[in-house]
Structure 1
Amino acid sequence: MFSLVSIVLLLEMLTISYLMIAMALPTITTHYQTSQGAWLLTAFLLLGAVAAPLVGRLADLHGKRRLLLVCVAGSALGSLLSAVATSYGVLIAGRALSGLLVPCLFLSYSLIRDVFPARTVALAVSVATSGMGLVAIPAPFLTGWLIDNHGFRSIFWFSLIGLVLLGAMIALSTDESPVRARARLDLLGAVLLGGGIAGILVAVSFGPTWGWTAGRTLAYLVAGVVLVAAWLLSARTTSEPLIDIDVLRRRPVLLTTISAGFVYGSSALFTMLLPMIAMTPAVLGLGYGFGLSAEGFAIFQAPIGAMVMVGGLVVGLLVGRRMRPQPLLVAGLLIMAAGFAAVGVAHDGKGLLIVLAGVFGFGQGLGYAAIPNLLIAAVPPQLQASTASIVGVFQSAFPAILPVIVFAVLNNSYVAPLPPEMTGGAVLYTNDGYLVAFLISAGAAVVGAVVAALLPRTIRQIDAPEHAGTAVLAH
Structure 2
Amino acid sequence: MRQSGIGSTDIGPHSRWSGRLIGLVAVLALVNFVVDSAITAPLVVLPEMLDHFGTHQTAWLNATAMLAGVMWAPLLGRSADIYGKRRVLVATLLLSCAGALLCAVAPSLWLFVPGRMLQGASLAAVFLSVAIVRGACAPRIGMIVVGIVTSGSAVLNIASRFVIEKLATQFGFQILFLLSAFVAAVMALCVRRFIPESPVRTPGRIDVSGAVLLGVGLGGVLGYVSLASDLGWVAAGPLALLVVGGAALARWFLVSSRKPEPLIDIRDIGRPLLLTLLVVFLAAGSYQSMLQLIPLIGDVSAGDDLGYGLADQGSVALLLAAPGLGVTLGGPASGWLAARIGPARTLAGAVTLGTVVTLGMFLGASQLPAALCCGFLLGVTVGALGTSGFNMAGSLASPERQGIVSSLVMVMVSIGSVVLDFVGAAVLKSTSVVVDGDTANSATGVFSYIGIASGAFAIALTLAVVLVRTTRSGGDPAPPGPRHEAPSPGLQRDRA
Fold match, TM over 0.5?
Answer: yes
Q: Cα offset for 1:469?
A: 7.5
State the SS of the aligned residue for 2:257: helix
**Does residue 1:205 correspond to 2:226, yes or no?**
yes
Select between 141-150 and 4-13 the one with higher mean Cα deviation: 141-150
Letter paired with 2:462: V
List per-residue Cα deviations over 1:284-331 (Å, max 9, x = no partner).
554414289xxx86522332122212221222222223x111122122
Confirm or deny that 1:46 pairs with 2:64: no
Match of 1:346 in 2: 364
1:415 aligns with 2:432: yes
Partner of 1:460: 477
Which runs of 5 or more residues in structure 2 are unaligned? 1-21, 490-496
What is the distance in 2 between the residues matched to 1:447 and 1:12? 32
Contact 1:382 1:470 in 2 (8 A): no
> Is contact 1:247-1:253 (8 Å) kept?
no
State the alpha-carbon separation in 2 of the partners of residues 209 and 305 from structure 1. 29
> In 2, distance between residues paired with 1:334 and 1:139?
31
Equivalent position SS for 1:454:
helix
Distance 1:185 1:320, change over 3 A: same
Q: Structure 2 counterpart of 1:429, which letter?
A: N
Measure, in 1, the Cα distance between the counterparts of 2:70 and 2:449: 26
Match of 2:402 in 1: 384
Query: Residue 84 of structure 2 aligns with which residue?
Result: 63
Q: Whole-Å Cα distance in 2 between the matches of residues 297 and 22 of structure 1?
A: 19
2:179 to 133, 137, 158: 158
SS at match of 2:134: helix
1:394 aligned to 2:412?
yes
What secondary structure is seen at the aligned counterpart in 1 of 2:201? Answer: strand
Question: 1:133: Cα distance to partner?
Answer: 2.5
* Shift in CA distance, 311/406, structure 1 to aligned 2, threshold 3 Å: same
Which structure carries more relative contact order (alpha carbon 8 Å, separation 6+)? 1
Distance (Å, rounded) in 2 between the aligned partners of 1:66 and 1:257? 26
Partner of 1:182: 203
Q: 1:10 maps to which residue?
A: 31
Do 2:360 and 2:374's aligned partners in 1 also have CA atoms closer than 8 Å? yes
CA contact (8 A) 2:93 2:122 kept: yes
1:143-190 superposed Cα distances (whole Å, 9 cap, x missing partner) = 322223332222212212221222222222211111100112212211
Assess, with a 3 A threshold, how the Cα gap between structure 1 residues 89 and 218 changes in structure 2: closer, same or farther.
Answer: closer
Does the residue aligned with 1:417 lie in a helix, a strand or coil? strand
Instruction: Provide the residue aligned with 2:193 in structure 1.
Output: 172
Cα shift at 1:104: 1.1
The answer to whether the Cα contact below 8 Å between 1:239 and 1:467 also exists between their aligned partners in 2 is no
**1:78-105 CA distances to partner (integer Å, 9 max, x unpaired)?**
1111112211222222111110111111
> Residues 94, 291 of structure 1: CA spacing in aligned structure 2 closer, same or farther, 3 A cutoff?
farther
Cα offset, 1:223, TM superposition: 2.5
**Which structure 2 residues correspond to residues 43-442 of structure 1 after superposition, within 5 A?**
43-248=64-269, 250-280=270-300, 284-286=304-306, 287-290=308-311, 298-321=317-340, 323-412=341-430, 414-419=431-436, 423=438, 427-442=439-454
Question: For the Cα contact (< 8 Å) 1:264–1:399, is it kept in 2?
Answer: yes
Range 183-192 or range 95-104, more displaced: 183-192
Change (3 A) 1:13 1:280: farther
Residue type at the aligned position of 1:306: L
Q: For the residues of structure 2 that align with 1:291 and 1:44, how far apart are their CA atoms?
A: 36
* CA distance in 1 between partners of 2:267 and 2:55 (Å): 45
Counting aligned pairs with the same residue, the percent is 28
Instruction: Give the aligned length.
Output: 462
CA deviations 1:332-366 (Å, max 9, x no partner) are 12222222222233323434322220011112222
2:195 partner letter: T
CA distance in 2, matches of 1:216, 1:26: 24
| Partner Cα separation in structure 2 for residue 184 and residue 470 of structure 1 | 20
Q: Is the 8 A contact 2:394 2:406 kept in 1?
A: no
| Contact 1:261/1:395 (<8 A) preserved | yes
Distance 1:118 1:254, change over 3 A: closer
Aligned residue for 1:26, secondary structure, equals helix
Check 1:281–1:20 CA distance in 2 against 1; reply closer, same or farther (3 A cut): farther
Q: Assess, with a 3 A threshold, how the Cα gap between structure 1 residues 94 and 55 changes in structure 2: closer, same or farther.
A: same
Return the alpha-carbon distance in structure 2 between the equivalents of residues 327 and 74 of structure 1. Answer: 37
Q: TM-score, normalised by structure 1?
A: 0.90
Q: State the 1:6 CA deviation.
A: 1.0
Question: 1:48, 1:99 within 8 Å by CA — same for their partners in 2?
Answer: yes
**Which deviations, in whole Å up to 9, do the C-alpha atoms of 1:387-431 show, x marking residues without a partner?**
22222221211111111111112211x2121355xx5xxx53123
Contact 1:182–1:471 (Cα < 8 Å) also in 2: no
* 2:191 match: secondary structure: helix
Alpha-carbon distance, 1:380 to partner:
0.4
Distance 1:22 1:297 in 2: 19
Query: What is the one-letter code of the residue matched to 2:205?
Result: R
Instruction: Summarize the Cα distance change of 1:344–1:92 in structure 2 as closer, same or farther, 3 Å threshold.
Output: farther
